[in-house]
Amino acid sequence: MIGPGTGVRVYLACGVTDMRKGISGLAALAETELRQRPANGAVFAFRGRRGDRVKLLYWDGQGFCLYYKVLETGCFPWPSPADGTARLTSAQLAMLWEGMDWRRPSWGSPPARMG
């Protein structure tokens, strides 16, 4: 994915977002619901009602970038609306973007001991 590098702050809008919103509407949500400045260099993630769509809003220093992904099967793991806002690491964002459950990553078994 072309986008923000490692170490970026990531905020999830818990619950459901109207996926018809564009950059201006999502920037307004970042300001009102997440209480963050949309142009502060953070990534803001929003999920649709069905759970198979996610939008990421990011200010790259020159303008807003809007990333949109629709899964063919399954849905994106998401916190409940009662949680309000969730903070993720850039590694968790990468897992989220791939459709993996960033809350419970499935780590492989440790390497077998040789010798």
Low-confidence ranges of the chain (pLDDT < 50): none
Residues 6 or more apart from 18 whose CB is under 8 A from it? 25, 48
Does the predicted TM-score (pTM) go above 0.85?
no
Which domain covers residue 90, as residue numbers?
Answer: 10-97
Taking only the tens place, the pLDDT of each residue in 26-38 is 999 999 988 999 9
Q: What is the model's pLDDT at position 98?
A: 86
Residue 107 maps to a domain? no
Of the candidates 36, 43, 40, the one whose C-alpha atom is nearest the C-alpha of residue 57 is: 43
Residue 37 maps to a domain? yes
Tell me whether strands 85-88 and 64-70 are parallel, antiparallel or unpaired. Answer: unpaired
Residue 104 maps to a domain? no
Q: Please give the Cα distance from 44 to 66 (Å, whole number).
A: 10
Residue 110 maps to a domain? no
**Domains identified in the chain, total number:** 1
